[in-house]
Amino acid sequence: MVFATSPIAAQEVEESDVQAWFQYQYQHRVSESIRGSWGLGYRDLISTEDELADWSRLHFIGDFVYSHSRRVSFEGGFGGYYTFAGELSDLWELRTWQGAIVFWPAFKLAGRQIDLRHRFRLEQRWTNQRDGGDSEFGLRLRYRLASFIPLTKPTIENGSFYVPLMGETFSDLGDDSLDYFAARLRLTVGVGYVFNDYWTLEFRYTAQQSRDQVLNRFKTDDHILDFRIRTAVLIRDLLSPSGD
């Protein structure tokens, strides 16, 4: 995560905004090694320094995760995104992805069980403007380092608080796709609470920097307030990599 902050500091940031994200996700363990999930989300720009900027986004996602071993899992999923772009043309996006999650290392710190989760994902993205613009296709690589740290108990269990920590980088392959909000770097910290075997609630703060549409440099500094409700058949299914 420290290395991920270096490009942020080195680039000029010309705009800043605040976004609110609301997400619901349901996860279900199909078998001992296969887990499926689906989710709904809404994102909204609530303040910005750009007087002409205005957008909101609805999306749905679905994915499957196969646990190859205790240390390695594989994932595949899809998502549909519709962006209401204000002064610009609205945008449709269909996204599919394949990836791997590596759980390593695992250790104890101050009596708390800690594990690091490395997620590598390849995304295929089809975009189309609502006003009849040309459809475009793009590939993107994502890498995320994450951990869920128990806060009030040695492990994450019923009645306990925990802290999600994440750092993620994005990289386009080939020509850039048509993307009004092309996120490239994210750093996330938050707090979550496990109510029982079926429900968790999370609040996350994410600092995000996005590339300008035309110029190949970081230009927008986003502050994201992310509220998440997650349900599952078993508590062990809740804190797994999701398709966000």
Residue 159 pLDDT more than 80?
A: yes
Residue 148 pLDDT more than 90?
A: yes
- Predicted confidence at residue 1, as pLDDT, reads 41
User: Which residues are CB-neighbours of 113 under 8 A, at least 6 positions away?
Assistant: 106, 150, 154, 155
Q: Are 167 and 147 in contact (CB under 8 A)?
A: no
Measured CA to CA, the distance from residue 13 to residue 3 in angstroms comes to 18
Q: How many CB atoms lie within 10 A of CB 80?
A: 13
Q: Are 196 and 170 in contact (CB under 8 A)?
A: no
User: Which residues are CB-neighbours of 105 under 8 A, at least 6 positions away?
Assistant: 115, 116
Query: pLDDT tens for residues 201-241?
Result: 999 999 998 765 544 555 678 899 999 998 876 545 555 54
Query: pLDDT tens for residues 113-133?
Result: 899 999 999 999 999 887 766
**Residue ranges of the domains in the chain?**
2-237
In the chain, DSSP assigns E strands to 15-29, 34-48, 56-67, 72-84, 91-109, 112-129, 136-150, 161-173, 183-194, 199-211, 218-232
Q: Which of 108, 201, 205, 118 is nearest to 149 (CA)?
A: 108
- Predicted confidence at residue 75, as pLDDT, reads 97
Mean pLDDT calculated for residue range 79-102: 92
Q: Which of 227, 208, 179, 185 is nearest to 15 (CA)?
A: 208
Q: Which of 21, 118, 20, 119 is nearest to 63 (CA)?
A: 119
- Predicted confidence at residue 4, as pLDDT, reads 43
Measured CA to CA, the distance from residue 190 to residue 172 in angstroms comes to 27
pTM of the shown model: 0.84
Chain-centroid distance of CA 30 in Å reads 23
CATH superfamily of 2-237: Outer membrane protein (2.40.128.140)
Q: Which of 186, 176, 243 is nearest to 215 (CA)?
A: 176
Q: Which of 152, 63, 148 is nearest to 106 (CA)?
A: 148
